């Protein structure tokens, strides 16, 4: 009787051991499978974009990632969410090579969304910016030019005279989602201008300040000269003298589609509202989008008696010459031409 009991216990113990071994092996198999799902690289070999909407659940995100071929299984993302916690960031994500599910999760948790850069240099006008928007692949040149006019309401509180967003599209390097369109881009640039204006304390006479700053921006690239150029414009305005600035003439030609890359004597007599040879005072509005140094110069021009200058672009050394009298100005012009001719000699 004792022998049979011992054998029965031995047989029962063997079954328990086999069961436990089976459970252990199953656990190892499951852990290995889960580890494979989490740590084995997987994903598309070609460029793939996944746009995650705000408020998407971890399960919904997992479904999108699996459908796009970024994850092997949607549930692994849900498990990673339960393990790592954190906040998942909405936006468009770019995948162009196989990576682990853990790397996919970490990218979305830190908000590593895909963006394209739009570089807008100081002094760019709406035509320049529109070309850059199209080249960056966001929207067409025509759509941006249209948005710059249609959305003028974005700046009417700053400049009731504004006919477009010209002057208020702050030059900077912007990063936008691939699907961002012209109206959103223009609005972001205006927001940046407002932030900069606030930092500079620019609250009054924005139309005049920004218009003068745009002229300064296009007349010299030398920061130290900007307050001097601004003083020339201020002094001429006080004396009711025409500003006689070529960049304004060029802008008027651009608006009419008549600018061909070089200014001729006939252009100076072509009657547009921006021809500052024919019309005294400021042009109707900004001719470009000035940066901070030019805005500061327009807000605080130098205290000078200058009424004339030869633009830096004419000088081989990259500097302008300023004069208070016409005779002095004529001598500066001769000096510049000599320097330019000398610089062109072999």
Residue 173 bridge partners (DSSP): 119
- Domain boundary (109, 138, 158) is at 109
Of 119, 113, 77, 64, the closest CA to residue 92 belongs to: 113
Confidence of residue 83 (pLDDT cuts 50, 70, 90): confident
What pLDDT does 39 receive?
A: 58
Whether the predicted pLDDT of 45 surpasses 90: no
For residue range 170-215, list pLDDT tens digits in order: 999 999 999 999 999 999 999 999 999 999 999 999 999 999 999 9
Tell me how far apart the alpha carbons of residues 52 and 46 are, in angstroms, rounded to a whole number: 19
Q: How many CA atoms does the CB half-sphere of 32 hold within 13 Å?
A: 6
Confidence of residue 31 (pLDDT cuts 50, 70, 90): very low
Three-state DSSP state, 138: coil
Tell me how far apart the alpha carbons of residues 238 and 252 are, in angstroms, rounded to a whole number: 24
For residue range 162-178, list pLDDT tens digits in order: 999 999 999 999 999 99
Looking at the fold, whether 92 and 178 belong to one and the same domain comes out as no
Task: Name 114's Cβ contacts closer than 8 Å, sequence gap at least 6.
Answer: 49, 91, 92, 93, 94, 177, 178
What pLDDT does 46 receive?
A: 87
User: How many structural domains is the chain composed of?
Assistant: 3
Looking at the fold, whether 132 and 229 belong to one and the same domain comes out as no
Whether the predicted pLDDT of 29 surpasses 60: no
Looking at the fold, whether 222 and 299 belong to one and the same domain comes out as yes
- Domain boundary (64, 81, 109) is at 109
Region 250-263 average pLDDT: 93
Which of 40-44, 60-64, 71-75: highest mean pLDDT? 60-64
Q: In this prediction, what percent of the chain has a pLDDT beyond 70?
A: 86
Higher pLDDT, 307 or 346: 307
Task: Name 26's Cβ contacts closer than 8 Å, sequence gap at least 6.
Answer: none
Residue 85 near residue 58, CB atoms below 8 Å:
no
Task: Residue 55: give the domain boundaries.
Answer: 48-109
Residue 283 near residue 276, CB atoms below 8 Å:
yes
For residue range 114-148, list pLDDT tens digits in order: 999 999 999 999 999 999 999 999 999 999 999 99
Q: How far is CA 295 from CA 16, 123, 203, 300, in A?
A: 84, 11, 12, 9
In a domain, 193, yes or no: yes
Higher pLDDT, 150 or 341: 150
Of 285, 291, 247, the closest CA to residue 162 belongs to: 285
Q: Contacts from 266-273 at CB under 8 Å and sequence distance 24+?
A: none
Tally Cβ neighbours within 10 Å of residue 324: 14
What pLDDT does 41 receive?
A: 82
Three-state DSSP state, 326: helix
What pLDDT does 1 receive?
A: 52
Strand 321-323 and strand 91-95: pairing? Answer: unpaired
Looking at the fold, whether 140 and 252 belong to one and the same domain comes out as no
Region 236-246 average pLDDT: 96
Per the document, the length of the chain is 346
Mean of per-residue pLDDT scores for the chain: 88
Higher pLDDT, 36 or 80: 80
Tell me how far apart the alpha carbons of residues 205 and 184 are, in angstroms, rounded to a whole number: 27
CATH code of the domain covering residue 157: 3.30.1490
What pLDDT does 93 receive?
A: 95
In a domain, 331, yes or no: yes
For residue 54, with 0-12 CB atoms within 10 Å meaning exposed, 13-18 middle and 19 or more buried, which class applies? Answer: exposed
Looking at the fold, whether 182 and 238 belong to one and the same domain comes out as no
In a domain, 42, yes or no: no
- Determine the Cα angle at 309 with ends 308 and 315, to 5°: 160
Of 81, 103, 89, the closest CA to residue 52 belongs to: 89
């Amino acid at each position: 009787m004792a022998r049979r009991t011992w054998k029965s216990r031995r047989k029962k113990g063997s079954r328990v051991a086999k069961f436990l071994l089976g459970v252990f092996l199953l656990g190892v198999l499951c852990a290995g499978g889960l580890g494979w799902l989490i740590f084995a690289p997987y994903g598309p070999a070609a460029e793939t974009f996944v746009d995650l909407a705000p408020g998407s659940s971890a399960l919904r995100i997992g479904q999108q990632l699996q459908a796009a071929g970024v994850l092997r299984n949607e549930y692994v993302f849900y498990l990673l969410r339960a393990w790592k916690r954190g906040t998942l960031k909405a936006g468009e994500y770019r995948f162009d090579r196989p990576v682990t599910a853990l790397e996919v999760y970490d990218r979305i948790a830190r908000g590593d969304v895909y963006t394209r850069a739009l570089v807008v240099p100081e002094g760019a006008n709406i035509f320049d910016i529109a070309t850059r928007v199209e080249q960056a692949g966001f929207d067409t040149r025509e759509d941006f030019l249209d948005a710059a006019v249609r959305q003028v309401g974005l700046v009417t509180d700053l400049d009731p005279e504004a006919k477009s967003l010209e002057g208020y599209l702050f030059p900077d390097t912007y990063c936008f989602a691939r699907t961002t369109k012209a109206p959103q881009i223009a609005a972001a640039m205006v927001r940046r201008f407002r932030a900069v204006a606030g930092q500079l304390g620019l609250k009054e006479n924005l139309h005049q300040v920004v218009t003068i700053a745009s002229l300064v921006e296009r007349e010299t690239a030398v920061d130290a000269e900007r307050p001097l150029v601004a003083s020339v414009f201020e002094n001429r305005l006080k004396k009711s003298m025409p500003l006689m600035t070529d960049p304004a003439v060029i802008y008027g030609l651009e608006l009419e589609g008549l600018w061909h890359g070089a200014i001729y004597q006939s252009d100076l007599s072509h009657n547009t509202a921006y021809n500052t040879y024919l019309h005294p005072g400021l042009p109707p509005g900004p001719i470009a989008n000035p940066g901070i140094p030019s805005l500061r110069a327009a807000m605080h021009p130098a205290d000078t008696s200058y009424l004339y200058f030869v633009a830096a672009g004419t000088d081989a050394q990259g500097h302008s010459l300023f004069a208070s009298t016409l005779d002095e100005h004529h001598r500066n012009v001769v000096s510049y031409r000599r320097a330019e001719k000398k610089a062109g000699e072999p």
